[in-house]
Structure 1
Amino acid sequence: MKKITYLPLAILCLESSALAASFNMDFLSGESAKADLSRFEQNTLMADGKYELDIYVNNDWRGRIPVQLVDNNHNVLISSNDIENLGIEVDNEIANKEQYLPLKSFLHDGSYQLDVASFKLNINIPQAYLIQHMNGYISPDYWDQGISGAFVSYNSNYFHSQNKQNGSRNNNDSAYIFLNSGINLFGWQFRDQSIYNYNNQNAGQWHNNNRYVQKGIPSINSELRAGDSYTNSESFDSIFFRGISLKTDLRMYPDAYQGFSPTVHGVAQSNAVIDIYQDNILIFQTSVPPGPFTIKDLLPTGSGGDLNVEVKEANGSINRFIVPFSAVPNMLKEGMSKYEFTAGEARIDNSKNRPNFIQASYQYGINNLLTGYNGAIVSKDYYSVLLGGGFNLPVGALSIDITHAESRFSEIKNKKGQSYKVAYSRYFNQSGTNFSLAAYRYSTKDYLTLSDSIALHNWVQEGNYAGHYSHQKNTFNINMNQNLGQNLGSIFVSGTVRDYWGESNNSQEFQLGYNNNWQKINYSITASRISHSDNSQESTKPEQRYYLNLSFPFSLFEQQAYMTTNVGFNDGQYNNSNIGISSTVGDHHQLNYNLNFAHQHAGNTTLNSSLSYKTQIATLNSSYSHSDQYQQLGLGASGSLVAFSGGILTSNQLGETFAIIDAPGVKNAAINGDKTMTTNNNGIALVPYLSAYRKNAVMLDSSNLEEDSAELIGNIKDVVPYAGAITYIDFKTDKRHNYIFRAYRDNGKPLPFGTEVTDKNNQILGYVGQGSTIFIKADKLPEQLFISINKETQTKCTISHPELIMDDPHNICLEEQH
């Protein structure tokens, strides 16, 4: 049932400046003009003291900080350290980090408003007095480390299959459960990923994939992790290890540092407007004073493309210049650095050799042209060093690096070699051609990665080494996209070529495709050529494959559905085809179904179907497959449990970073407009996904609250969580009940409009509205209510044992002189 909050039909008119508020008495006449409205002329809306408020500067949330209210709220005091974090310039002579400064002393002719109901302080400052921060920047002082708690996310599935073979039927049962669990305690985060496998041939077994503890360290924009993990693959091949790592967490940086984008330098002759275009699209605009200027906060773009910069001077003249912009993966923004340090024990599956090692890497954006990077790995019988650079050139982005490695053996000759890598990326604005990456790596015969070295040690120790060892020699990758123009679609080309030392193995995979759409129909045509060869002569014949794919939406049972179909050919012969439909059902799309028919060239036809239903506590799924040779039934469930000091909550999904909402007494409030995610009877709910180190606005929708639900006091909260945090977001609520009735003075006249209604302890419970209607909020209806009807004579009247009646005069307010 929709909750109705009763308010007086006329709202008091306030004239405000900063915190000052006064009531315009000219709007009232008769008895109402004599009413005691002194509350609206006083600013004791909040008792003087220290409060934690959400601070907005020019409508931009900057954090939740402590402030002091003094002098009946006429002055707001903020510490100078917090003022600096808010991005407001302060005179060094008055800034003292040991004291609170009056907000009025650094307003710079601006203004502020205190929103008591939402515990917000809105500050408006002229732009010239703001310290400019990049998009996405929030001071680490306001990052939320979260609360202590525990969670477990599960994904469980059971399958029963029946295979027909030689006239008999073989039944098989299998099941698995994947668990992702964690404990957060005092800012430390423990994580565990385990899996349970069962089938009717083997007893069930638990296997731990990895287990570690981690903590974000904002002072150095890094993450510390101890336990099981993988090394970074940007400099060296990734390897699984158990140990400790400390590395840069780019998520802690502003948006502009999430990838490479050039810094724009220039000189303005006057007050100028800077426009920056990419592919004829305006992507940035700002104004600058006369003199040199630097623009650092351009956001990285996926395709790159040179920047066209226009400097529009005050006299109307325009100066234009071009800044090259292409990037390869190792490139960083000018002045940006990135590092990783790892120490631990290498763990490779089925390997008895587990050497300890240390790995370190460092990257630094020297300028727009050059990013330098290097790294090293040191182990007992192995070491390697890497040196490279990424270049942002007018002809495209280019990276070149060389790695030298030595492996020591006691039984065979030591191995020493090098690996050379070149990568290129370029977007051509004129033609719309994008070489997203073209990379080539050559490794000499005796060059070994750490993984190769460990594997070869195993071979030697087990007596399997026969003078040669298979490892990578040449690798070439290319990815290219070409936009053909409006309504003409695009084509893409990709390819990979590999060969190896020690064997004649090599592989080649090339793909050419075309994508387009016509009205609502999306279609693509793809051709691929795949060849693999090894020491045998039977696998050298190339295979050519062709695919045609179509998909389009249509209406089914008054719901939008999608149909997809494709057909494949191998070496010019029909190979397979399938057709399927998928859709969602329900007011909140909670039911999803898929139905697919597949046909193979041998004549086999398979029916595949699946059904999933999403509830607030779990997602349930089922599947069924049937063909002439087999049939399979599957059942599954996935979801999450979260335990904290306030109890246990459930959810159908859970991300790395999530929040617990606590709005006491607010039942059935939708979160961020998602009606499948609502508060429970206690006003608590899970928000399964938050963006780490970014401002997240969480809103409660009170339009569908139940009648007995508490009232929200402010329905939006902003929070900036650490990665992996369990963030606690508390909303202030009023759990008192609304009472509405009419009362009259003992002479039959109505009570003055706008007058406060108090209890015997002089606590304000409500007001007199139009038509002598009384609106109050209280835990229960008091036995006596008091109303000041004439402030000049200090006349009050008392209502004894009020009754909730709106009809003829029943509740009488008896006057008494004070």
Structure 2
Amino acid sequence: MWNTSKVRNTFRPSFLGGLMTLAGTAFGAGDIEFNTDVLDLSDRTNIDLSRFARSGFILPGTYSMVVQLNGQAVPEQSVAFYAPDDDPKGSQACLSASLVEQLGLKAAAVAKFTWWKDGECLNPQSLPGMEVSGDLATSTLSISLPHAYLEYSAINWDPPARWDEGVAGLLVDYNLTAQSNYQRNNGTRNNLSGNGTVGANAGAWRVRADWQGRVERANEGAYGNQKLEWSRFYAYRAIPALKARLVVGEDYLYSDLFDSFRFTGASLNSDQSQLPPNLRGYAPEVVGVAKTNAKVIISQKGRVLYETLVAAGPFRIQDLHDAVTGSLDVRVEEQDGSVHSFKVDTAGVPYLTRPGQVRYKLAAGRPSNLHYGAEGNVFGTGEFSWGVSNGWSLFGGGMTDNNYRALSVGAGRDLLAFGAVSVDVTQSHAQLWGDTLTGKSYRLQYSKNFEEYDSQVTFAGYRFSEKNFLSMSEYLDARHYGLNGERAGGRGMLNEHGEYVESWKPIGGSKALYTVTVNKQFRDLGATVYASYNKQTYWSRPDTQRWNLSLSRYFNVGSVKNMSLSLNLYRSQEYQHQDNGMALTVSLPLGRTGTLALDANRGGGNNTFSSRYSDRIDERNSYQLSASNRSASAYLSHMGDQADIDLSASTQEGDYRTLSVSARGGGTLTAQGAALHRTGSTGGTRLMVDTGGVPDVPVRGYGSPTRSNAFGKAVISDISSYQRTAASVDLERLPSNVEATQSVTQLTLTEGAIGYRSLDVIAGAKAMAVLRLGDGTAPPFGATVKNVRQQDTGIVNDDGNVYLSGIQAGELMIVSWGGRERCILTLPAVLPADGLTDALQLGCRPVAAEQSSPEPAALPGKHLDTENSAT
């Protein structure tokens, strides 16, 4: 009986070590002559080392390789090796036109190209300093190029030539929250709310339909407020040549000069996400404090942008899309039934552009309202920013319809170490309800990016508007409601939930807007400061304002390390409603991963003291338990393969109890397969990874890995658009019967794409085997064994011994040497239930015999060479 564990541990190292001994002094020479006397073999005449006979030599053929350009990976692809005309025994990588296009070369370098093999392959000598080398051991093709030949590049960013539009497919993403509230006097009230996206991809086009809804049911069974609506239908695509994004359908105006409003039409905007990361803007943040486990809803003009459950305590939402502009409505629904709302005016960095470049945004269509359809006349708008020099940018734009015109001009200056500043002025002219209103609005913006402090951003903005100045959205409101805000029929105005409120507020009248955001980290002190302030004043109604201040610091007390102290203060005032709050938290680590926090909160005129304990069960599950003088609650978060699920339960004095559950996930369907998966941003970019039909393979993109489903498919969602992304097999969590021969893949996807990549995974048992040909001899030392998917499953050692992986009952494997496929193995039809402990005795039938049999065993789609078949 074979001691398979001993052979398994010693076979491959000894084989590779022998090859290193043989060739150790031969590197750098043309042909290598092996001294086979140093090998401990019983038959030194039956050896096939042809594949190792020349230093760096790769047999002519086509190989799947990862291309490395100056150490940075280019997406994996097939690379052909041919024998050059001047060296019939050699081989050289063929850099095809499609591969060269992905290198991101400047036009001046492309003009110098020369080609060989009838124009199929680039001649590396045509670019001085260019070097190309292949390595089969790592399946890598290394290309070295002087940076002078390359376009602008950055870490994790690829030029447009390497962008992948993905595959055609369908997607359905959702974000659902269900709540059940019980109160002794009012009974039970249940509600279900959510939002999501349905979409389809075809080539470069992405078609999307966004939905949102809410259903409430009282204890007597009657349904209360019910609403399900499609918030917008639209299609978009990237236009890489213009660094722009084209959108048709229902959309929101994203402008750096004018306010945002909803319209139906088309827009063509320069897309910052298509630029290298250090040239992009940043997304808005929403900061607040939840008194209990709460639901946070962020909307704009009635459209829900973000909805999530948060645990009791301070929250900070940072994953909003960076295209969001204008004023955001934030609604915090506490589990005790209370609701507080506030507005956040998003900040924007000064409108600066790289020297010599022009950024632009164009749109045309008809304004529309989510709740009552089209409004206003057909409009057109355009804006630009021109980088005049290294320091200065000029920008401007205009907007018009039959009765409204606005014109804006401005300039920006890069102050280098002191940040950046811009100033602009906008004049509007509106005719409505028999009046002509003309006014100006002035704006000043400043920002400073502190890269030495983890790229924190400080922003300050100020806008002053004359009394008769109207933005486009204010003009549209005035057309609909009248200058005094009274809609025909006396129904008042719509709130953020699409409900009419009895309020007659004058339209427009904005006077001054102050916006300040500071986010800075002090590493030496272990402290972080975040502050934001928004104030809007009006000519004829009360001011609104909102400010937040968050201070946190880590410190040690004696033997207790990594304690933290945080203070969160906020104040919100809108018309006659004012909300002040404060949360003071002291936390200390408890156990390996747990944290105990003591909170002192003041909000809504009430003081509460509570304690919270949070911990991580494992990489996928975490929880929080909290108790106060008035309530107790629990919060559980689970990151699953098919959805993210949050559970929340609380009870408060007065017999008030709440149970909530939220689920975020999606489904993706392509011609290559389908999978359910978790997702954070609905309708976003994703990557489908194919593990070749092997289930339960852990695939990691970001965060916790997700496992392939029963069909061998896994989807990694929330992929960053236009940024290089890597997906890999988590080797530490692989099942014992699975082996990954290719564990990493990289690609750069355009916005909304469904990427597709396959990873080479072998599933099956592992065991020693002894191979014999028809005449009783053994295949030569160094022969290779592959399965029906052309995956390497073993290398033959002395006397036909081989350690095989990926053994499946009744499957075929093929043995190759001398550059040809020689014979075929048939594995046992039934494998032992207790595993393979003895060496398998396998006969290897000649390929020619297999092809002449009544049922050919030729591999699907693979031509088997019949010349020089084994004897």
Q: TM-score, normalised by structure 1?
A: 0.74
Distance verdict in 2 for CA 1:770–1:372, change over 3 Å: same
1:169 positional shift = 3.9
Q: 1:396 & 1:785 partners in 2: Cα distance?
A: 65
SS where residue 86 of structure 1 aligns? Answer: coil
Query: For each residue in 1:105-137, what CA deviation from the matched residue of structure 2 results, as whole angstroms up to 9, or x when unmatched?
Result: 347576543344765322345x47753642144
Structure-2 residue corresponding to 1:415 = 437
- Cα distance change of structure 1 residues 595 and 376 upon mapping to structure 2, 3 Å threshold: same
Q: Give the deviation of 1:649 after TM superposition.
A: 0.8
Q: Alignment partner of 1:354: what SS?
A: coil
2:614 to 582, 599, 602: 582
Aligned residue identity for 2:153: M
| Structure 1 segment 774-789 matched on structure 2, within 5 A | 774-775=802-803
Shift, 1:721, TM fit: 0.9
1:75 aligns with 2:89: no
In structure 1, C-alpha distance between the alignment counterparts of 2:59 and 2:716, rounded to whole Å:
33
Contact kept in structure 1, 2:42 and 2:799, CA below 8 Å: no
- Which of these residues, 702, 705, 708, is aligned with residue 679 of structure 1? 708
Corresponding residue number in structure 2 for 1:37:
48
Structure 1: give runs of 5+ residues left out of the alignment.
261-326, 600-604, 790-795
Return the match for 1:329 from 341, 350, 368. Answer: 350
Q: CA deviation at 1:56?
A: 1.2
2:516 to 462, 474, 478: 478
Unpaired runs of 5+ residues, structure 2, are 84-88, 218-222, 283-347, 493-503, 557-561, 846-868
Asked if residue 635 in structure 1 is aligned to residue 661 in structure 2, the reply is yes
How many residues are treated as equivalent by the alignment?
718
Equivalent in the alignment of 1:517? 554
User: Closer, same or farther in 2 for the Cα pair 1:430/1:215, shift >3 Å?
Assistant: closer
Deviations 1:539-597 (A, max 9, x none): 8xx98765533333322xx6423425133388xx86344432222213x3x33322233
Return the letter of the residue paired with 1:567: N
* 1:432-511 matches, cutoff 5 A: 436-460=458-482, 462=488, 469-479=507-517, 486-487=524-525, 489=527, 494-503=532-541, 505-507=542-544
Shift of 1:359: 1.8
2:224 counterpart (199, 202, 218): 202
Supply the distance in 2 between the matched residues of 1:746 and 1:428 (Cα, whole angstroms).
73
Q: 2:154 aligns with which of 122, 135, 139?
A: 135
- SS of the counterpart of 2:15? coil
Q: Pick from 209, 234, 245: which aligns with 1:192?
A: 209
Counterpart mapping for 1:603-622 below 5 A: 605-622=630-647
Which deviates more from structure 2 when the two are superposed, residues 69-78 or residues 12-21?
12-21
> Shift of the alpha carbon at 1:235?
1.0
Structure 1's 440 and 475: CA in aligned 2 closer, same or farther, altered over 3 A? same
Deviations 1:2-54 (A, max 9, x none): 9x899544225265879977462243377543224253356899875666643
Q: Which residue matches 2:39? A: 28
Work out the CA distance in 2 between the residues paired with 1:769 and 1:20: 26
| Bigger radius of gyration | 1
Counterpart Cα distance in 2 of 1:7 and 1:736: 20
Structure 1's 528 and 776: CA in aligned 2 closer, same or farther, altered over 3 A? closer
Native 8 Å contact 1:150 1:183 kept in 2: yes
**Structure 1 residue 61 displacement after superposition:** 1.7
Q: Is the 8 A contact 1:37 1:756 kept in 2?
A: no
Tell me the secondary structure at the aligned position of residue 720 of structure 1.
strand
Structure-1 residue corresponding to 2:195: 178
Inter-partner Cα distance in structure 1 for 2:827 and 2:434: 101
Q: Is the contact between residue 117 and residue 713 of structure 1 (CA under 8 Å) also seen in structure 2?
A: no
Greater shift in the superposed pair: 93-102 or 54-63:
93-102
| Residue aligning to 2:758 | 730
Distance change (3 Å), C-alpha of 1:204 and 1:135: same
Which of 701, 712, 716 is residue 730 of structure 2 equivalent to?
A: 701
Higher mean displacement: 223-232 or 741-750: 741-750
Q: What TM-score do you get using the length of structure 2 for normalisation? A: 0.70
| Other structure's SS at 1:458 match | helix
Bigger mean CA deviation after superposition, 678-687 or 692-701: 678-687
Rounded Cα–Cα distance in structure 2 between residues aligned with 1:510 and 1:524: 17
Offset from partner CA, 1:298-322 (integer Å, 9 cap, x none): xxxxxxxxxxxxxxxxxxxxxxxxx
Partner of 1:156: 176
* Counterpart code for 1:113: S
C-alpha separation in 2, matches of 1:628 and 1:512: 30
Aligned to 1:389: 411
Equivalence map 1:771-810=2 (5 Å): 773-775=801-803
Rounded to whole Å, the distance in 2 between the matches of 1:728 and 1:684 is 10
Does the residue aligned with 1:34 lie in a helix, a strand or coil?
coil
Identity of aligned pairs, percent?
Answer: 19
Out of 111, 122, 125, which is 2:142 matched to?
122
**3-state SS of 1:474 partner:** strand
Which residue is equivalent to 1:10? 15
Equivalent of 2:422 in 377, 393, 399: 399
How far does the alpha carbon of each residue in 1:746-788 deviate from its partner, in whole angstroms, 9 at most, with x for none? 99999975467899xxx99965424762456787789999999
Q: Tell me the secondary structure at the aligned position of residue 435 of structure 2.
A: coil
Q: Are the structure 2 counterparts of residues 509 and 49 from structure 1 closer, same or farther at C-alpha, using a change threshold of 3 Å?
A: closer
Question: How far has the Cα of 1:727 moved from its partner?
Answer: 0.4
> Counterpart of 2:114 in structure 1: which amino acid?
A
More deviation, 673-682/616-625: 673-682
Q: Secondary structure at the match of 2:369?
A: coil
CA contact (8 A) 1:744 1:809 kept: no
Q: Cα–Cα, structure 1 residues 13 and 106, in superposed 2: closer, same or farther, change >3 Å?
A: farther
Q: How far did 1:654 drift?
A: 5.3
Q: 1:516-558: CA deviations, max 9, x gaps?
A: 3322232234566666667xxxx8xx98765533333322xx6
Change (3 A) 1:412 1:552: farther
Alpha-carbon shift at residue 598 of structure 1 (Å):
4.6
Aligned AA for 1:121? L
Q: What pairs with 1:58-73 in structure 2 (closer than 5 Å)?
A: 58-64=70-76, 67-71=79-83
Matches within 5 A, 1:81-480: 82-83=99-100, 85-86=102-103, 92=111, 94-95=113-114, 99-101=119-121, 103-106=123-126, 108=128, 111-116=131-136, 119-125=139-145, 127=146, 131=150, 133-136=152-155, 137-164=157-184, 168-200=185-217, 201-202=223-224, 204-259=226-281, 328-348=349-369, 353-393=375-415, 397-409=420-432, 411-425=433-447, 436-460=458-482, 462=488, 469-479=507-517
CA contact (8 A) 2:588 2:597 kept: yes
How many angstroms apart in 2 are the aligned matches of 1:203 and 1:94? Answer: 68
Secondary structure of the residue aligned to 1:13 is helix
CA RMSD, 1 decimal: 5.0
Residues 1:806 and 1:195: Cα distance change in structure 2 (over 3 Å): closer
